[in-house]
Amino acid sequence: MPGFGLTFGFTVFYLSAIVLIPLAALLIRPWELGVAGVIDAVSAPRVVASLKLSFGAAAIASAINGVFGLIVAWVLVRYRFPGKRIVDALVDLPFALPTAVAGIALTTLYAPNGWIGSALAPFGIHVAFTPLGIVVALTFIGLPFVVRSVQPVLDDLDREYEEAAATLGATRGQAFRRVVFPTILPAWLTGIALAFARAVGEYGSVIFIAGNMPFISEITPLLIVIKLEQFDYAGAAAVGAAMLAISFAMLLAINTLQAWARARST
């Protein structure tokens, strides 16, 4: 690579063209409404309800993926079983599958007359066209982020540390909590942060299974699309800026926790 000056200049130019300038446009456009107009656009009851649903469902889905993604990564690294390569390839399926196709497939399965939905209906559990369906869709598209973040760290982890802990009398659970988990914690938090960031802005896989009822199952990306279709570009930008601010604050908190975990592990 060339010297620092050229590469740094290219980096700043690339980030400005791809990230900073579009974000600046997003932040500038809402002020056409004025301060009062921006506040009214963001604090409207329908917008607030959609923000709560989007971020709440994303947080729940990323927490679920944090638990089960860690289990999947552990099984793929530590065990050998028939069809392991197939299972490993299936983890990446949400990356390759178009989100709209994923949404249609999930709706077909979890609808009241679907394979899974019909089995849950007698118990009073309704997934499709409810907030629960949104969580299911966001969990589906976010799982690979956690698995692929944790898997290489687990694969590189030297098992001698676990064997040393066992010789000192530690059980398998204690060895995991005190030796393995502190090592993989930064990567685990990274996977959760990536899954959360993907879930917050997800649209295609959610739009079919959500039901899209205002104040019940309407996500913020859909509300932004509705405002754009109504030619309310400034209002859509105001809602988008609110999502950006909340996402940045939550990701900053996760990254701070990740840095603390990395410093603690070293």
Each residue of 96-143: pLDDT tens digit?
A: 888 888 899 999 999 988 899 999 988 889 999 999 999 999 999 999
Rg for the chain, CA atoms, rounded:
22
Task: Let me know: does 209 contact 108? Beta carbons within 8 Å.
Answer: no
Compare 223 and 161 and report the one with higher pLDDT.
223
Quote the pLDDT of residue 188: 92
Compare 168 and 74 and report the one with higher pLDDT.
74
Distance CA 87, CA 82 (A): 9
The CA distances from residue 115 to 95, 97, 101, 112, 128, in Å, are 24, 21, 17, 8, 12
Residue 261 has pLDDT above 80, yes or no: no
The alpha carbon dihedral of 66, 69, 73, 74 has a sign of positive
The encoded tokens of residue 188 equal 């685990």
Lowest average pLDDT, out of 2-6, 55-59, 178-182, 240-244, goes to 2-6
pLDDT band at 152 (very low <50, low <70, confident <90, very high): very high
Average pLDDT in the chain: 87
Domains in the chain (CATH in brackets) are: 34-265 (1.10.3720.10)
Compare 176 and 64 and report the one with higher pLDDT.
64
Quote the pLDDT of residue 265: 63
Quote the pLDDT of residue 199: 92
Quote the pLDDT of residue 2: 62
Residue 146 has pLDDT above 80, yes or no: yes
97: left (phi over 0), alpha (psi -120 to 50) or beta: beta
State mean pLDDT over 80-89: 89
What confidence tens digit (pLDDT) does each residue in 199-252 have? 998 888 899 898 888 899 999 999 999 999 988 889 999 999 988 888 888 888
